[in-house]
Structure 1
């Protein structure tokens, strides 16, 4: 089974001279691999879902179908949460820049992107309220007066302890923004 999220870093390694090494630019791509903390959290959620599904089967065999249904629905919600957790991040394509969060997805067409740049600022550590000094990739849109959206941070679940991966991902998103902003 092909895992397309694993090819992002390999494609960048193989084509270091080409800033945008992807053949099909119309397809949404995450220009980095999900980090170990994100993958670990999703794996733990899927493990929990397997236990809940097993409990649902045991409850169904015992004869209480309504409780088994509730457990089954809970397991499906846990699985959906794990999958959504893996989809979170910044995605790029020829159509624009997409920031996928747990509860929201925001897409900015390249025509509306004023700049995407890396800045030093306090960032949230693993998405928690605690902040530490780090780097962030900031998106500034043309139609929003001074509003900035943080796309990536060096201390997120994708890049904590992976400074080189953050630099590569931020540079890739900046190159996509520069190329498509120059066209529009």
Structure 2
């Protein structure tokens, strides 16, 4: 069975015909960096745990205990959903604005409300834990001067021990801000 999406010569056929590929959609929210190894490792462990829980649910169903199976299914789906949500957390940008996706909440800030995006030296949380260390943080200030939450730090799950990746991501978010703050959407 031929798989045309794996061949290099058919890779740009849709682009040549004028069709827009999904990743070229300018209004799509993008993360300007890849998830870090800590975040991916924690999500992988959660997915492995979720698969074991699903397997245990199948064994419980085979034993005939439907209420226990329903509880196991719900718990395993919660673990898998947590792993997927963990992978979606971070900073996302689009021509519309800036989106900070946390584990429980997501906040979108239109570029018209963004005053300044800059990298500062300050105490930052290590892997999101209460312990703080001296590091770099990408902060955003609203037009009225109000300070909004920290966007990225060089000690979070995406950039721990990866200072070059933090610098690239911070520079990318700052470039998006410089480009779209002045342009009304």
Partner of 1:150: 150
Deviation, 1:181, is 1.0
Structure 1 unaligned blocks of 5 or more:
1-21
Q: SS of the counterpart of 2:118?
A: strand
Structure 2 unaligned blocks of 5 or more:
1-22
CA distance, structure 1, for counterparts of residue 146 and residue 181 of structure 2: 18
Question: Which protein has the larger Cα radius of gyration, Structure 1 or Structure 2?
Answer: 2
Mapping of 1:8-47 within 5 angstroms?
Answer: 23-47=24-48
Please, what is the CA RMSD of the aligned residues? 1.2
Taking structure 1 as the reference length, what is the TM-score of the superposition? 0.85
Deviation, 1:24, is 3.3
CA distance, structure 1, for counterparts of residue 54 and residue 147 of structure 2: 44
Partner of 1:100: 101
What whole-Å deviation, never above 9, does each CA across 1:160-184 have from its counterpart, x for those lacking one? 0110000000000001001111224
Taking structure 2 as the reference length, what is the TM-score of the superposition? 0.85
What whole-Å deviation, never above 9, does each CA across 1:132-178 have from its counterpart, x for those lacking one? 010000011125x5223200000000000110000000000001001
Deviation, 1:120, is 0.4
Q: SS of the counterpart of 1:182?
A: coil
CA distance, structure 2, for counterparts of residue 62 and residue 86 of structure 1: 34
- Structure 1 runs (4+) deviating above 3 angstroms are none
